[in-house]
Amino acid sequence: MTMSLPMCAIDFSNDAMGPEETAIAERIAELKEQMGEDLLILGHHYQRDQIVMHADLLGDSFLLAELAAKSKAKNIIFCGVHFMAESADILTSDEQNVILPNMRAGCSMADMAALPDVEVAWKDILERSGLSDPATAKEGDSCLIPVTYMNSAAELKDFCGRHGGIVCTSSNAEGILQWAYDRAGPKGAVLFFPDQHLGRNTGLSMGISLDKMAVWTPGQDNQLPEDVKIVLWHGFCSVHKRFTVGQIDAFREQHPEGLVVVHPECPMEVVQAADANGSTEYIRRFVADQKPGTHIAVGTEINMVARLDSQHEDLHIQCLEPTVCPCSTMYMIHPVYLMDILERLVDGEVPNQVIVEMSVQKGAKIALERMLSIKQ
């Protein structure tokens, strides 16, 4: 199906490649071939097609973390955002180089949980709730377990590792929260960073009611219910926050038999109004399972929606938000940057290497490896 272009006027189709883009793509392919097995290019689903076409492996942040951990390639180019490259650096050996094509490709959600704010909140919540820090708890204590979404800085993952906590992704959030509650004790709770929506949606799907949840915003007069089960850091994804129930209603009016699938970073009302919700890998499988001719509105990043549309010619796939733009930081990975990185690698340089300090690596690795060791 040909997808109508979003209002932000960026052409997401592969057909957009003119002579210049084709020359860049050919040069990247040549350089890749020269590097052979020394090179692995990882691509996140939210990358544009002109990047994805060069990726050896494509996946969401969970799958890419696993693939990076298993890889033996000397140079791993991570076509995603900074926190993903940090996780790859933590999980790979000291001899491997993890490279981000554009060092400015960060994540606004990850930036919403700065470590100094987290440390202040941690002390405050422990004091007010009477819960123990798992790092110093005595047997029988009820604890506060810190859980951070993969979409967070290495310093926050380190914090979680040092305080008996763990990392999660949108693929495994429920299993990870269960792991945390099993360790927290009957009266224990979870402090969930940085995406309040993923935390709330996952908590609700586990049967935790809204009156047992609290949102924590640094510098504000935060309230905790007496028997709080999950404290949600106030962060959010600026891309997924744009989806609304009104958009779902409008789609259903046009396509009463149609289906809506959204990412759990969307607000609770949107997740509840959709037919299904899950990680990018889940959304891919959900779409692939539908009957030919089905109309599907997808609430996630536009590059992925456009790619699903071009891969399923027998379905009618559209983005839930008609005016949506791509994740602006994912979009900073341009093929020109990828080509430049490869030219420099072939010349013997190691540009844009993402290096997580050893002092931060230790706790972050514990938190990441705890996640990877849990079978989903």
Q: Which residues bind ligand SF4 (CB under 6 A)?
A: 46, 81, 107-109, 151, 237-239, 301, 327, 329-330
Least distance between ligand SF4 and beta carbon 192 (Å)? 15
Report helix, strand or coil for 353.
strand
**Measured from the CB atom, is 132 or 277 closer to ligand SF4?**
277
- Which residue, 48 or 295, has its beta carbon nearer to ligand SF4? 48
Residue 80 Cβ, how far from ligand SF4 at the closest point, in Å?
8
Q: How far is the CB of 141 from ligand SF4 (least distance, A)?
A: 34
Tell me which amino acid residue 246 is: G
* Cβ 61 to ligand SF4 shortest distance, Å: 8
- From the CB of 111, what's the least distance to ligand SF4, in Å? 9
CA distance 28 to 42: 14
- Residue in the block written with tokens 């979404």: 149
CA distance 52 to 31: 16
CA distance 61 to 308: 18
Choice between 163 and 195, CB closer to ligand SF4: 195
E-assigned strand segments in the chain: 39-44, 57-59, 75-79, 97-99, 144-149, 166-168, 189-193, 213-216, 230-233, 259-262, 276-277, 295-299, 316-319
Closer to ligand SF4 by Cβ: residue 315 or 330: 330
* Strand blocks (E) in 132-179: 144-149, 166-168
* Cα gap 107→237, rounded to integer Å: 8
Q: CB-wise, 80 or 188, nearer to ligand SF4?
A: 80
Q: Which residues pair with 170 in a beta bridge?
A: none
Nearer to ligand SF4, 237 or 345 (CB): 237
**150/231 with CB nearer ligand SF4:** 150
DSSP string, 284-333: HHHHHTSPTT-EEEEES-HHHHHHHHHH-TTSEEEESSTT----TTGGG-
Contact 75, 40 (CB under 8 A): yes
